[in-house]
Amino acid sequence: MDAELLEPGQRIAALTGLAPAGDVGGTLAFADGLIVDAGADARAAGRGEGAGERTAETVDATGWIALPPLADLHAHLDKGYTWTSFGQPEGSLDDAIACWIDHGENHSSDDIKAGARRHLVAALHAGVTTVRSHTNYHLGDDPLRGVRALIELRDEFAGIVDLQIVASPGSSDGPDDLGRAAVALGIDLIGGFPHLAEDPRADLERNAAFAEEFGLGMDLHTDETLDAASTGLAELAARTRHWPAGVIRSAGHCVSLSMQDAETRARTLAAVAEAGVSIITNPLTNLYLQGWQHPVATPRGIPPLREILAAGITLAAGGDNVQDPFNPLGNADMVDVASELVVAGHLTPAEAWHVSSNGGRAAFGLPPARGRVGDVADVVLVRAAHTAEALAERAPDRIVIRDGRVIAVRRRVVSSVLDLRALPTPPSAPTSEGALL
Ligand SMILES: [Zn+2]
């Protein structure tokens, strides 16, 4: 069958005619949820089907490329789509936090769940099958309503979008009752914001000790400031370097790294690599929130991505905010994030896609999905000639395949254009009434 005809639920034995992109080109064969040798696709066809499932098809994917599925490692699902209802604010990180505090009490459980669900559905259609989301303790009655909403969605999307939920022990100068309740509800990782605390080192220690108490990993907002003196990343590396290899430790943002001298950066990145800390860059939100106080030579607020990769550190990316006070323009599509990693972060298109897919999977603790024999049978089909075109055009047509089965299809068809030849010929000398600006 032709790829044009694919619909969710269709099992696939093999994709043929793929244009080369990354490790994949020509034929990609699937069996039992894994990539298999293309020569084995005849044997693979029809296998792995349960009762009532459709026959696995060989699909002509001419005109498409198969890329690793996208992974958004820094989201705030509980904040999504609030920019309008929260008063259409603009400004810095401090302004966004103040707006959140002003309006947060009215953000109901239903609002949170509706926004988070819309975000996950949009992400899925874009080819995102892995999401790590932070959540706040919400103001007013029932501060755990965000945690509960995300846990319900984690169950609802199980097997389609893998979701990790991050929550802090509680405010840095208060009790940790909320954190304990969130752990009891089933969050995955401990979060925090040491750079916003009065004593960042003490707050890091509190977060790390809390994570250790429950045997959980940790993902901290780290150095989300242009102040070069903010050295939370180095402190996080020092604090977690003795943690067992399988325990997640991630640092989101790492903005101040971009303001530090080369020697400091090199020293910090060596320690981060040795400690096994992954870095998660959030270019859209940092480009938006940082730099408001620097009208001349405005800094980008993006960490030195190529230096991070060269140091051997796992680098992932996040969309961070979707149409909320922290960024009015996010859209849950990691292709927009990857594009920014090229334009503002100076990675190649292939590097940017890797960071936005397998980099995220590694930070999440998932096996790679490179399209190689033995990898999971997860790809996103993109109608494009190559990776750069997929990013440049924001590749509207995508088909998301997981475990060898189509789980989402997105089609954006341009249905018609104006027939320019049918336009009346303009007068050669327009009258003053008819002139346009
Ligand atoms: Zn964040």
Q: Does the pLDDT at position 47 exceed 70? A: no
Close Cβ partners of 46 (under 8 Å, ≥ 6 residues apart): 13, 55, 56
Q: What's the rounded Cα separation, in Å, for the pair 246 and 42?
A: 38
Q: Does the pLDDT at position 42 exceed 70? A: no
CATH code assigned at 357? 3.20.20.140
The verdict on 131 and 248 lying in the same domain is yes
The verdict on 26 and 122 lying in the same domain is no
Alpha helices (H) along 157-261: 177-185, 200-214, 232-240
How far, in Å, is the centroid of ligand 1 from the Cα of 352?
20
How far, in Å, is the centroid of ligand 1 from the Cα of 402?
27
Is 369 among the domain residues? Answer: no
How far, in Å, is the centroid of ligand 1 from the Cα of 173?
20
The verdict on 328 and 274 lying in the same domain is yes
pLDDT attached to residue 422? 74
How far, in Å, is the centroid of ligand 1 from the Cα of 91?
16
Q: Does the pLDDT at position 147 exceed 80? A: yes
Taking residues 224-252, what's their average pLDDT?
97
The verdict on 404 and 337 lying in the same domain is no
User: Hey, what amino acid is at 76?
Assistant: H
Domain boundary among 336, 364, 392: 364
The verdict on 211 and 330 lying in the same domain is yes
The verdict on 154 and 277 lying in the same domain is yes
pLDDT digits (tens, 9 = 90+) for 262-311: 999 999 999 999 999 999 999 999 999 999 999 999 999 999 999 999 99
How far, in Å, is the centroid of ligand 1 from the Cα of 157?
22
How far, in Å, is the centroid of ligand 1 from the Cα of 165?
12
pLDDT attached to residue 52? 56
How far, in Å, is the centroid of ligand 1 from the Cα of 309?
22
Under DSSP, is residue 300 helix (H, G, I), strand (E, B) or coil? coil
The verdict on 48 and 112 lying in the same domain is no
The verdict on 79 and 212 lying in the same domain is yes
pLDDT attached to residue 38? 80
More reliable by pLDDT, 234 or 97: 234
What whole-number percentage of the chain has pLDDT above 70? Answer: 93
How far, in Å, is the centroid of ligand 1 from the Cα of 125?
22
How far, in Å, is the centroid of ligand 1 from the Cα of 253?
8
Cβ(237)–Cβ(268) under 8 Å? yes
Where b means 16+ CB within 10 Å and e means fewer, 253-270 reads bbbbbbbbeeeebeebbe
C-alpha dihedral sign at 4, 10, 16, 22: positive
Is 294 among the domain residues? Answer: yes
Domain boundary among 364, 399, 430: 364
How far, in Å, is the centroid of ligand 1 from the Cα of 282?
8
Is 237 among the domain residues? Answer: yes
- The candidate with the shortest Cα–Cα distance to 375, out of 42, 32, 44, is 32
Q: Does the pLDDT at position 431 exceed 70? A: no
How far, in Å, is the centroid of ligand 1 from the Cα of 283?
11
Confidence category of residue 437, pLDDT binned at 50, 70, 90: very low
Q: Does the pLDDT at position 41 exceed 50? A: no
Alpha helices (H) along 76-199: 93-103, 109-126, 145-156, 177-185
More reliable by pLDDT, 354 or 53: 354
How far, in Å, is the centroid of ligand 1 from the Cα of 35?
34
Question: Which strands, in side-by-side order, build the sheet including 398-402?
Answer: 65-67, 379-382, 398-402, 405-410
The verdict on 22 and 113 lying in the same domain is no
Is 422 among the domain residues? Answer: no
CATH code assigned at 57? 2.30.40.10
Taking residues 140-159, what's their average pLDDT?
96
- What is the tally of structural domains in the chain? 2
pLDDT attached to residue 172? 81
pLDDT attached to residue 51? 52
The verdict on 271 and 249 lying in the same domain is yes
pLDDT digits (tens, 9 = 90+) for 350-382: 999 999 999 999 999 999 999 999 999 999 999
Q: What's the rounded Cα separation, in Å, for the pair 380 and 359?
A: 16
How far, in Å, is the centroid of ligand 1 from the Cα of 292?
18
How far, in Å, is the centroid of ligand 1 from the Cα of 224?
9
Average pLDDT, the chain: 92
Is 100 among the domain residues? Answer: yes
Q: How many CA atoms lie within 13 A of 414 on its CB side?
A: 5
Domain range for residue 393? 3-66+375-410
Confidence category of residue 44, pLDDT binned at 50, 70, 90: very low
How far, in Å, is the centroid of ligand 1 from the Cα of 133?
8
3-state secondary structure 349-393: HHHHHHHHHHHHHHHHCCCCCCCCCCCECCEEEECCCCHHHHHHC
How far, in Å, is the centroid of ligand 1 from the Cα of 134?
7
How far, in Å, is the centroid of ligand 1 from the Cα of 22?
30
Where b means 16+ CB within 10 Å and e means fewer, 176-209 reads bebbebbbeeebbbbbbbbbebeebeebbebbbe
pLDDT attached to residue 414? 66
The verdict on 186 and 134 lying in the same domain is yes
Is 131 among the domain residues? Answer: yes
How far, in Å, is the centroid of ligand 1 from the Cα of 252?
7
Residue 111 bridge partners (DSSP): none
The number of angstroms, rounded, from the C-alpha of 256 to the middle of its chain's C-alpha atoms is 21
Could you tell me whether strands 379-382 and 189-190 are parallel, antiparallel, or unpaired per DSSP bridges? unpaired
How far, in Å, is the centroid of ligand 1 from the Cα of 212?
22
pLDDT attached to residue 426? 65
How far, in Å, is the centroid of ligand 1 from the Cα of 383?
31
Q: Does the pLDDT at position 95 exceed 50? A: yes
Domain boundary among 364, 393, 428: 364
Site of tokens 């977690």: 240
Is 437 among the domain residues? Answer: no
Taking residues 248-265, what's their average pLDDT?
97
The verdict on 255 and 312 lying in the same domain is yes
Question: Which strands, in side-by-side order, build the sheet including 12-21?
Answer: 34-36, 24-31, 12-21, 57-60
Is 430 among the domain residues? Answer: no
